[in-house]
Structure 1
């Protein structure tokens, strides 16, 4: 079954941050703080999916309070930072919220995402993901991490479910 045939079942999106929501670059400011950039197209799609009632979950090994603030500003409540092993965090979340693995689309870009990608209904990655991740992904976005790949998979899912272009789409 192709990944597109599984999109109608998706209720939950899980994303990594570095290399997915960002391009993986880190800039150090004059005080030594790490600064990351996120694409507004991804932000738009994330807040739209939240408005439409989808579960949006962020699981990242990074520990940036500013990243967490940005995501919470988009309406995302389930942000797990400084995670050393993502699979137990994902499984606990799914169990506590009574979500079947087949309802989950996960997007990751590197080796720490590998176990989670193997357990979900639709595994996806950015175009510039590690080769090991590309090899196991059901869908490889044509867009690199931090450049709109999150929008790509959210938009495809919402279009298949007829939830993309409606009255809720016209505002943030």
Structure 2
């Protein structure tokens, strides 16, 4: 891990996630009744739980609205959920203000142009492997995993390793 990324990751207290294209692969599926469904990767969820054990907190900011997002957030203990955020930076500012955070204490993972204003402000920004070219070019870090396929977990591991907390939260799996 490069020193600049390590320095930024050391300051992170909150990880803010996009949903479509980050927590999911970006596909939108409707059932026979017209209800939207989403597929989330179990390793991303496990990574969120590991990070929470290490004291990190989570928020979701998404441009779309779906009851499935609230369900997944509740299941994972994600404290802040902002759906229908057409200007995500406004939702970001609300979260930062509510929890008395500095930009340096927030990490953000995204996949598309709508995420760029937050990339410019967050202390650490990451683009999933299959993010669009411009978004990858603006990120502090380009992840090796695509959205919905373990990218969130990868980002969490990078942060926890930089903070020397990874071994602590995973040691029970090795004993």
Question: Shorter chain as normaliser: what TM range?
Answer: over 0.9
Of the three residues 74, 95, 118, the one matched with 1:72 is: 74
Deviation at 1:66, TM superposition (A): 1.5
Which residue does the alignment assign to 1:51? Answer: 53
What is the TM-score when the length of structure 2 is the normalising length? 0.92
What is the TM-score when the length of structure 1 is the normalising length? 0.93
**SS of residue in 1 equivalent to 2:92:** helix
Q: List gaps (5 residues or longer) in structure 2.
A: none
Deviation at 1:168, TM superposition (A): 6.7
Tell me, in whole angstroms, the C-alpha distance in 2 between the residues paired with 1:77 and 1:105: 15
Quick check: 1:50–1:76 contact (8 Å CA) kept in 2? Answer: no
What is the CA deviation profile of residues 29-60 of structure 1, one whole-angstrom value per residue up to 9, with x for unaligned ones? 11011111010000001122223221201000
**SS of residue in 1 equivalent to 2:23:** coil
What is the CA deviation profile of residues 99-133 of structure 1, one whole-angstrom value per residue up to 9, with x for unaligned ones? 11011111010111111111111111100001110
**SS of residue in 2 equivalent to 1:165:** helix
Q: List gaps (5 residues or longer) in structure 1.
A: none
Which residue does the alignment assign to 2:130? Answer: 128
What is the CA deviation profile of residues 122-162 of structure 1, one whole-angstrom value per residue up to 9, with x for unaligned ones? 11110000111011101000110000000001011111212
**SS of residue in 1 equivalent to 2:20:** coil
Of the three residues 85, 108, 111, the one matched with 2:110 is: 108
Moved over 4 A (4+): 167-171
For these two proteins, the number of residue pairs brought into alignment is 171
Tell me, in whole angstroms, the C-alpha distance in 2 between the residues paired with 1:151 and 1:123: 14
> Residue 167 and residue 23 in structure 1: after superposition, are their counterparts in 2 closer, same or farther (change >3 A)?
closer
What is the CA RMSD across the aligned residues, in angstroms? 1.6
**SS of residue in 2 equivalent to 1:118:** helix
